[in-house]
A and B are shown apart, each in its own frame.
Chain A
Amino acid sequence: MKTRVVGSVALLAVIAAAIFGLFVVPADLNQGDAQRVMYVHVGSAWLGELSFGLAALAGLGYLWRRDLRFDALAHSAVEVGVLFTAFAIWGGMMWGKPVWGVFWQWEDPRLATTALLLALGVGYLLLRRLSDDPARRASRAAVVGLIAGLDIPIIHFSVVWWRGLHQGFTIGDPGKVLHPSAPLQFVAALLGMLAAFTLTWTWLMIRRYQLARLESQIEDDVRMSRINAARGAATTSTGPSTEPEPAR
């Protein structure tokens, strides 16, 4: 019931934030309407990094406690993270082409490290398909999740450490986002979309985690039925002998 409420509020919030960002906020003086893509681009990028950060923490939790619930959480976070990282890249391309003149530039450290995060996420999901043993699969996935987690601070600080096309911090720099010259509508549109996307992410994570637990239960059931079938076959072949006992 609570999850349904979260989902309904998230849906309304995303609709409201999209209408506000598309039709209420004025166009940017320099970038025109293309700047409106920033609201969904930044929201997606934030959730991509949040997801992979959560996956890395859950992976650590699994390696420490060997509890498969941590693995289910990490798996859910990576799947949702791949989705939002892909959206962030797509949004960046749709914003970049009219503003920078190019969809993509491999020399830009923010772009390249984000593409690396997406590749690690896809690799994580593919790696999970290689093993049927839940413990082995969870250990391997946790290691890849941790490696992906290491990429997050590199992505975040790449605009400070290296030169590139991508702009520097906006939200992380109070001098920019809280500057009196920053029009309140722009800040409200960005923060509103971030809040709406974060609510959506929360709902997605709850549902995806529920699915991961159900899939784990199904996997257990299949394994048990195979064990039972094998036991049944063994009992039949080595069962009580039907030959008559020798007379004494």
Chain B
Amino acid sequence: MTDVGYVIAGYGVILGGIVVYVALLLRRLRVAREALRRDADATPPDATPPDARR
């Protein structure tokens, strides 16, 4: 194989970058879901007036 370094760098960064982004995205999703769940558990049912939400 010729120019093997460029081929590995091209595929490695692009495919590896997608894998890293997927991992970070799933982590961000999990953190956001946990934060919402915590908020829902901590908020008493009548704390938010129903007309105040969009």
Contacts and interface: CB of A to CB of B under 8 A. Distances in A.
Contacts of A86: 17
Given A32-B3, A36-B7, A214 B14 contact: no
Nearest to A97: B6
Contact of A90 (B1, B14, B18, B36): B14
B2 A34 contact: yes
Contacts of B2: 27, 32-34, 98
Nearest to A15: B15
Contacts of B29: 207, 210-211, 214
Contacts of A127: none
Contact of B21 (A34, A41, A83): A83
A188 interface: no
Given A18-B15, A204-B21, A214-B33, A41 B3 contact: no
B16 to A, nearest CB: 10
Interface in A172-219: 200, 204, 207-208, 210-211, 214-215, 217-218
B15 to A, nearest CB: 6
Main secondary structure of the interface of A (DSSP, over half): helix
Main secondary structure of the interface of B (DSSP, over half): helix
Nearest to A99: B3
B33 A83 contact: no
Interface string A209-244: 011001101101100110110000000000000000
A13 interface: no
A91 B47 CA distance: 53
B32 A41 contact: no
A94 interface: yes
Contact of B3 (A83, A90, A98): A98
Interface in B10-26: 10-11, 13-15, 17-18, 21-22, 25-26
A41 B10 contact: yes
A40 interface: yes
Contact of A224 (B1, B7, B35, B48): B48
A158 interface: no
B9 A40 contact: no
A40 B22 contact: no
Contacts of B35: 218
Given A36-B7, A221-B36, A221-B43, 10 more contacts: A33-B7, A34-B6, A44-B14, A83-B18, A87-B17, A95-B10, A207-B29, A211-B28, A224-B52, A228-B47
Interchain residue pairs A-B with the least CB separation, the first 9: A94-B10, A37-B10, A32-B2, A214-B32, A34-B3, A98-B3, A94-B6, A87-B14, A40-B14
Interface of B: 1-4, 6-7, 9-11, 13-15, 17-18, 21-22, 25-26, 28-29, 32-33, 35-36, 39, 43, 47-48, 52-54
22 contacts: A32-B3, A34-B6, A34-B7, A37-B11, A41-B14, A83-B17, A83-B21, A87-B14, A94-B10, A94-B13, A95-B10, A98-B2, A98-B3, A204-B21, A207-B25, A207-B29, A210-B29, A214-B32, A214-B33, A224-B52, A225-B43, A227-B52
